Amino acid sequence: MARSKKYKKGEIVTALKNAHGLKTGACEILGCDYKTLMRYVERDAEAQEVIEHWRNRRLDRAEYKLDEAIERGEAWAIAMVLKDSKRGKERGYGNSMDVTSGGNAITKIEIEYVKTGNDSENKTA
């Protein structure tokens, strides 16, 4: 089995910076296999910091763009925040609901449907 090329610490860090912390991009820049890059990254705190920096930056940018969409009144963005955020769920906007009785989870709920006159079906628990 052929041995892979030896890379200097600065080469790995520079490639990660140029690839915005994306490991596959750094592999393309270096011309190396993903496993080779990961062996270097696992032992190099600076390389790990570069990856983490870019992950945080991407998340911050995504949140900024989401906030811009909310400010423009885009329904998809508003719904996403209300349904998928912890605070939105705490306010009752989630897609699911935890039901408890006296602090204990209820495992079975029976719903009786009652039809009255010309009214549509009413749910009663």
pLDDT of 1 > 50? The answer is no
Please state, for a pLDDT cut of 90, what percent of the chain lies above it: 55
State residue 96's pLDDT score: 64
Domain ranges of the chain: 9-96
**Average pLDDT of the residues in 10-36:** 97
What band does 34 get if pLDDT is binned at 50, 70 and 90?
very high
Q: Report how far Cα 39 is from the mean position of its chain's Cα atoms.
A: 26
**Average pLDDT of the residues in 70-75:** 96
Q: What is the pLDDT of residues 83-114, one digit of tens each?
A: 888 888 888 887 666 666 666 766 666 667 67
Side-chain-facing half-sphere of 76: CA atoms under 13 Å? 4
Side-chain-facing half-sphere of 96: CA atoms under 13 Å? 2
Alpha helices in the chain (DSSP H): 9-18, 23-30, 34-43, 45-71, 75-84, 86-90
Lowest mean pLDDT among 13-17, 85-89, 117-121: 117-121
| Position with higher pLDDT, 116 vs 5 | 5
> What are residue 99's phi and psi, to 5 degrees?
-110, 130
